[in-house]
């Protein structure tokens, strides 16, 4: 299911996140494990999913274990993007028992979240199967986790929208309203100014009304975001655009509605739900001596 354009993991940022997560959890030390578990005891543990899911984040899970104890041996038993049935052993971990227990919660917090994003992304991607439409994520990501969550989206089979404010011009409603203070034609002026200021960046314009679709297409926008439009309104927007810009449907997107939107012929459907509403997958670490 893994997307061929899956972004690379940003290990500089990920290692910082891991360090911060471990610091807030461990504090002055794992009081329970250090007082209850013999210092040199070794053990084996398995990461097992307790519900069907799409696997994402095994390299991150391994990195958390290694941050606690570099001698821990981590053996993946699933692959990134693999559909795992309930009860699947996703990884086997061996090493110092105290270290395994100290790492457990932080490992699961990362792994459960990433599997959750990949799983919902796979459901949305499946809803457009057989059409030309692609599912996109948004910037509605957990602060600091954007690289991880967009990675998980792609592992689940959906695609990534722009990464941040720097890699695509996106003229949204508030930009449009402020530009309109200078008079009519604000959207056209905004597109022209953006093209002049950043000639190497693609330009996307958000449109709430059909008049704005026409204005954006006439001004040469590369993409037009059809915001909170009904299917009937989007069908009219497609005719107005006449193939000039790539069209993206957004706002009010639900899993049930996606197939009907895709049949209209839009190029993309973006959904913040892939990241802001993803449910963490129930994954457990079962340990054996």
| Positions marked catalytic | 105, 140, 172, 206, 227
- Residues contacting 183, CB < 8 A, separation 6+: none
Element (H, E) at 21: helix 11-26
Are the C-beta atoms of 210 and 240 separated by less than 8 Å?
yes
Element (H, E) at 111: helix 97-126
CA pair distance 83, 265, nearest whole angstrom:
29
CA pair distance 189, 148, nearest whole angstrom:
36
Element (H, E) at 121: helix 97-126
Opening angle at CA 241, ends 237 and 245, nearest 5: 120
CA pair distance 250, 252, nearest whole angstrom:
7
CA pair distance 133, 125, nearest whole angstrom:
9
Element (H, E) at 171: strand 169-171
Please give the structure tokens belonging to residue 35.
Answer: 């007082």
Taking only Cα atoms into account, the Rg of the chain, rounded to an integer number of angstroms, comes to 23
Residue 221 DSSP label: -
């Amino acid at each position: 299911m893994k997307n061929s354009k899956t972004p690379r993991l940003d290990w500089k940022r990920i290692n910082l996140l891991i360090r911060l997560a471990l610091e807030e959890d461990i504090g002055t030390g794992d009081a329970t494990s250090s007082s209850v578990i013999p210092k040199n005891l070794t053990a084996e543990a398995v990461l097992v999913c307790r519900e069907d899911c799409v696997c994402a984040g095994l390299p991150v899970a391994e990195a958390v274990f290694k941050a606690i104890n570099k001698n821990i041996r981590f053996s993946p038993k699933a692959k990134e993007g693999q559909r795992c049935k309930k009860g699947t052993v996703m990884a086997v971990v061996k090493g110092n028992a105290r270290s395994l227990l100290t790492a457990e919660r932080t490992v699961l917090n990362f792994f459960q979240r990433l599997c959750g994003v990949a799983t919902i992304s796979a459901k949305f991607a499946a809803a457009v199967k057989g059409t030309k439409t692609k599912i996109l994520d948004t910037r509605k990501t957990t602060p600091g986790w954007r690289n991880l969550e967009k990675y998980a989206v792609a592992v689940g089979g959906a695609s990534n929208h722009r990464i941040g404010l720097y890699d695509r011009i996106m003229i949204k409603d508030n930009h449009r309203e402020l530009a309109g203070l200078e008079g009519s034609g604000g959207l056209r002026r905004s597109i022209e100014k953006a093209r002049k200021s950043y000639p190497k960046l693609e330009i996307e314009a958000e449109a709430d009304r059909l008049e704005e679709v026409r204005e954006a297409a006439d001004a040469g926008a590369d993409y037009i975001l059809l915001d909170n439009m009904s299917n009937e309104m989007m069908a009219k927007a497609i005719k107005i655009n006449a193939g000039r810009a790539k069209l993206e449907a957004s706002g009010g997107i639900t899993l049930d509605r996606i197939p009907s939107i895709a049949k209209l012929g839009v190029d993309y459907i973006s959904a913040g739900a892939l990241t802001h509403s993803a449910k963490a997958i129930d994954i457990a670490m079962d340990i054996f001596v």
